[in-house]
Structure 1
Amino acid sequence: MCRHNRPCPTAHAADRDVAAIVARHDDQGWALLCNGVVRFDDTGEVLPDGRIVAPHRPVPAGVSA
């Protein structure tokens, strides 16, 4: 999907969240990335194959999970 000079990470790469945003709906809390991933404000994701990735916010230093 990506046509950038330096291609965005694929939807299955560990760093898929850094792909370029191609559509954004801040009022609804989501963005479509160049690699086909839908990223939500809570850090959850929907991959192009329909798989769901649960929210995965980092835990701040000094806070036990």
Structure 2
Amino acid sequence: MCTHTPKCPTADSPAGDTAQVVARHPEQGWSLLCNAVLFFEDTGELLPDGRGIPPRRPLAAV
């Protein structure tokens, strides 16, 4: 799906969430990355194979 140079990281790469955004839907809280990852505003992800990555938000300071 990626046509950028250099190529964006693959969906299963540790840096997969750094791929370029191809569609942004802030009203719904998600963006589609060029490697077919759905990236959610809470930092959760849905990979192209259907696996989910839980949110990685930092915990609030006490």
In structure 2, list runs of 5 or more residues that go unmatched: none
Partner of 2:47: 47
Letter in 1 for 2:8: C
Between Structure 1 and Structure 2, whose CA radius of gyration is higher? 1
Q: Give the distance between the partners of 1:59 and 1:42, measured in 2 at CA.
A: 12
The sequence identity of aligned pairs, in percent, is 55
- Following TM superposition, the consecutive aligned residue runs of length 4 or more in structure 1 with deviations greater than 6 angstroms are none
Partner of 2:7: 7
Q: How many residues align?
A: 62
**SS of structure 1 residue aligned to 2:14:** coil
TM-score (norm 1): 0.87
Q: Give the distance between the partners of 2:57 and 2:48, measured in 1 at CA.
A: 21
Q: CA deviation at 1:59?
A: 4.7
RMSD: 1.5
TM-score (norm 2): 0.91
Letter in 2 for 1:33: L
CA deviations on 1:11-55 (whole Å, 9 max, x unpaired) are 000011110000000000000000000000000000000000000
